[in-house]
Chains A and B, each alone.
Chain A
Amino acid sequence: MKRILFLRGAELLVFAFLATIPLMVVNPYALGLLTLLAIYGILLIGLDVTVGYLGQVNLAHVAFLGLGAYTAGLVVTKLGLGLVPALAAATAVGLLLGALLALPALRLEGPQFALATLSFAALSTTALNELESLTGGAQGLSLSRPALFGTTLTPPIFFWLCLVLLALVWMVMRNLLASQWGRAFEALRDSPIATDAMGVGTYYHKVAAFSLGSGLGGLAGGLYAFNFQYLQPQSFVYELMIILLLGVVLGGRKSLWGAFVGATVVVLLPNLLSNRTLFHLFSGAGFAVALAAGLRGLVKKTTRPFQAFAPVVAMGLLAIGGFFVENTEDWRKGIFALMLFSVVVGLPEGLMGFLAIFLAKLFRVPPSPLPEPSNLEEVLPQHAQGDGPLLVLEDLKRHFGGVKAVDGLSLQVLAGTIHGLIGPNGSGKSTVVNVISGLYTPTAGRISLRGATLPQGSLTRVARAGVARTFQNLQLFSELTALENVMVALKGVYRMPLPLVLLGFARTEERRAQADALALLDLIGLKDQARTRAKDLTYGAQRFLEIARALARKPDLLILDEPAAGLAHPDVVQQIEIIKRVHARGVTIILIEHHMDVVSELCDQVTVLDGGRIIAEGAPDEVKRHPKVIEAYLGQASGPEASAAEPQPA
């Protein structure tokens, strides 16, 4: 509670201070800067959604600013409508075009995504320039600021309007990012495959996030239009995009405060460049900070030599170059580049990320306490005693080119059992799991769960049908805490529609989700490490956490893909214990495992694969003695008894 008060207090203080400035200072220039600060604040919060939360380099944001600005301008000049419809239209254009661009572009990762957004930005500049009859082309578009509900928007009033909108955006985004939506954004950055496999649609969330960020870009564009009252396509080009990126990265990604600090820097930059003394002061300070931080990093061995030296060289170049260059304005781009370079290399968390760590140490505000764990019966209801087959595979095939990884597999998994799936490396076990869980589409065959056909080729839809899985190569959301990892996957808790989430009505739901997730962490013995980030957990604990996360889906069928792989003996014992506990809840389990002792101890039934086909089936002890199994594991069996046993049907 103290923490909340502290953070909210700081926010209130800053906004209140900003709001009172026009009452104290009557300086049109300063007021203009403040207005711009509020507008860029909204813009950068929008950009941070893609750059920070989705972790993608988005080069189209400046285009949404421009498109929003022109939309607002045209709504006022051509349609003669007022300020509110203009801003609404600007936001809507951002949202819509954002979604349209995101639909194809977000199927891509990294460089291709950056290229697609870059192309979009170039295309929209071309359109603004060439659609002369509408936009006035390179001549520009002049507009006047309409009145708002009969009030003339004088500069101070317009500033207050922008500030109120910034506060609203701030509040709404804070609510959104603290909810399941925010967690999903972060989860899909860490592992898109696991996000899908946990029934949280990766693609859907990505498109929504991008569209939302672009919508904010559009809104900022609308305000931009009314602020400057004159628009030109050249204003919304690559260079501004770089400055915006500088703002987000310098301020600190994944942080509203970071966006605000970034906006401040962006607004003040031109002044910094035109005032020589200010520039010397600033670049000198930057050099000192880079030097101190670099030396500290080297001594403490927390950074690589390059990370320590490069920012010092870059800032040094800036500081020394400042004395030799005739006009700093001419080197504007170079200066941005050097600053941005230093920050990206030396301070990847940005100013706010750096400050946050520092402030946390200084004030030691404890995080709000976690609720009591829910009753396990509510989180993972006891399944009724099983009868008959739960999962049925019929003649399942999956070929990769000429490789028949799975070649005609028919299998029944009885409800309430632990069904082992074993076989030598390359026998097709993992492919079977990947086909069932929807990562691969089967080449042929049918899969049904409780008699109903299971969706094919979609991790999300399979997960929603009641199948959960773990991953052999861990796919945890490494930046999220253990608790959040489980919370992302929780099924049936998040019911609040998006508009209400935005207004902050999801808090009760959040408490419930925390309690439920804690119950599952308790089940696997990680309750005490709920707030530890997944990447900081021990390897064994990470394996356990994969199971807890899968259980959050309340699955009918749980697929464990080598849950004991790489575990030390004590952890293997604990893992067996955990799987027994899960089984006691009546969850049907498919277990893929190489440790034969684990298989023997846990499984009711075992299927042995080799070359994509079943070579043996039965109870663990029968299967272990089966000659074909011995042959598959140990190579060609020698001796007369082996060949005599050969004709046995598999």
Chain B
Amino acid sequence: MNPSIIGQMAVSGALMGLVYALIAYGFQLTYATSKSINFGQGELVMVSAFFSLTLTNLGLPYWAMVPGGLLFGALLGLVVERTGVRLALEQKSEGWILLSIILGLFFFSAAENIWGRDDRPFPTPISADPIHVFGVDVTRLELSVAVGVFAIMGLIELFKRRTLLGKAFEAVSADRDAAELMGISATRTVMLSYALSGTVAALAGILVSPITTVGPTMASALILKAFSVAVVAGLDSGFGVVLIGMALGVLESLASFYLGSGWREAPSLTLLILALAVRPTGVFGKAVIRKV
């Protein structure tokens, strides 16, 4: 087998894997503060992408559209937190799993009816012409994905470490009750984490849409793999998602080559179930000690 083809597939797989990692990173943000994740995150990715497309169609230039799309994602994140998560967290139940699935379904239905069921192209000023690097073709578009992913993850991490609000975020993640006693509102911090998570989802949508096109089902496969990445790496693994995301991306692009494109999803799903069996807290996750 030609090594350059393998290299080519590995590189484009890894770049796609970064998108999974970005969505998985969104799960980590909310998991840190509230031990909950949004099961309808894929719909957030999709609806934000559609919204950004509408902004573009309204004549907004690309660089003005991006902040608009991100803001919309943050708003949706807040909606999910308010309607789907807060009540369940107050009742200390796991009702948020079902409720966030329900909200996702509603967003899906709304998108189907507002924007239609067809896949549509997503215009971007970034060129899709290949550049040759070490015998492998990479497009600027694909590189922009990598740049965007690392930029937002870096920014959020900086925010968490350098600003007072970010430190409140870390405090609630470490110990919710203690943080509350120190005068930090856990509810607001959870809201913040959902807003950030929504922003991250929106960026994932904006980055991936030019490559995959926009449609109601654009995120359904994406989200499954993001789940796998989050769980295999561990929901508190930090940058572990980047490594696992890229590895999974490579694995699936090889799988679709050797097994046929229908089996694309199989390796990540199998890996997820296996990882859970062997190491439920994830490869980079912390083991928990049961207390009574």
Contacts and interface: CB of A to CB of B under 8 A. Distances in A.
**Is the pairing of A and B real?**
yes
Interface of A: 55, 57, 101, 103-105, 107-108, 110-112, 114-116, 118-120, 122-123, 126, 129-130, 193, 238, 242, 245, 249, 304, 306-307, 310, 325, 330-338, 340-341, 344-345, 348, 400, 430, 434, 439, 471-473, 475
A112 B39 contact: no
A333 B273 contact: no
Given A105-B276, A130-B260, A331-B109, A122 B292 contact: no
Given A193-B290, A331-B113, A334-B106, A344 B273 contact: no
B276 A122 contact: no
A429 to B, nearest CB: 13
A307 B91 CA distance: 11
B265 A107 contact: no
Given A57-B98, A249-B98, A472-B292, A115 B106 contact: no
A308 to B, nearest CB: 11
A108 B227 contact: no
A291 to B, nearest CB: 18
B87 interface: yes
A333 B109 contact: yes
Given A123-B270, A473-B292, A130 B263 contact: yes
Given A115-B231, A307-B87, A122 B269 contact: yes
B144 to A, nearest CB: 29
B227 A118 contact: yes
Q: Interface size bucket, B side?
A: 35 or more
A107 B263 contact: no
Given A105-B273, A119-B269, A130-B262, A333 B106 contact: yes
B110 A334 contact: yes
B274 interface: yes
Interface in B65-123: 83, 86-87, 90, 94-95, 97-99, 101-103, 105-106, 108-110, 112-113
A103 B277 contact: yes
Task: Please provide the 10 A-B residue pairs with the shortest distance between their CB atoms, ordered closest to farther.
Answer: A104-B277, A334-B109, A337-B106, A333-B109, A337-B105, A119-B269, A130-B262, A123-B269, A57-B97, A110-B94
B97 A114 contact: yes
Contact of B262 (A126, A335, A430, A472): A126
B28 to A, nearest CB: 12
A400 B289 contact: yes
A488 B32 CA distance: 36
B272 interface: yes
A471 B292 contact: yes
B248 interface: no
A402 to B, nearest CB: 14
A193 B265 CA distance: 36
Contacts of B211: none
B292 A111 contact: no
Contact of B227 (A119, A120, A338, A471): A119
Given A104-B273, A104-B277, A107-B276, 20 more contacts: A57-B97, A103-B277, A111-B37, A114-B97, A115-B227, A116-B276, A118-B227, A193-B290, A304-B87, A306-B86, A331-B113, A332-B109, A333-B109, A334-B105, A334-B110, A338-B106, A340-B98, A400-B289, A472-B292, A473-B292
A400 B290 CA distance: 12
A370 to B, nearest CB: 31
A245 B220 CA distance: 19
Contacts of A245: 98, 101
A325 B94 CA distance: 33
B148 interface: no
B113 A334 contact: yes
27 contacts: A57-B94, A57-B98, A57-B101, A101-B273, A103-B277, A104-B277, A105-B277, A108-B276, A111-B36, A111-B37, A118-B227, A119-B273, A122-B224, A123-B265, A123-B266, A123-B273, A130-B262, A193-B292, A304-B87, A306-B86, A330-B112, A331-B109, A337-B109, A340-B98, A345-B99, A434-B292, A471-B292
A119 B106 contact: no
A265 to B, nearest CB: 16
B212 to A, nearest CB: 18
A115 B37 CA distance: 11
Nearest to A191: B292
Contacts of B101: 57, 242, 245
A119 B228 contact: yes
Contacts of A306: 86-87
B166 interface: no
A175 B287 CA distance: 39
Interface centre among A130, A334, A471 (most CB of B within 10 A): A334
Nearest to A127: B266
A341 B95 CA distance: 11
B219 to A, nearest CB: 12
Contacts of A119: 224, 227-228, 269, 272-273
B7 interface: no
B292 A475 contact: yes
Interface in B135-166: none
A338 B110 CA distance: 12
B238 interface: no
Interface centre among A107, A119, A332, A439 (most CB of B within 10 A): A119
Contacts of B292: 193, 430, 434, 439, 471-473, 475
A120 B269 CA distance: 7
Contacts of A345: 87, 99
Contact of A104 (B260, B262, B276): B276
Contacts of B289: 400
Contacts of A333: 105-106, 108-109, 112
B98 A337 contact: no
Interface string B221-260: 0001001100100010000000000000000000000001
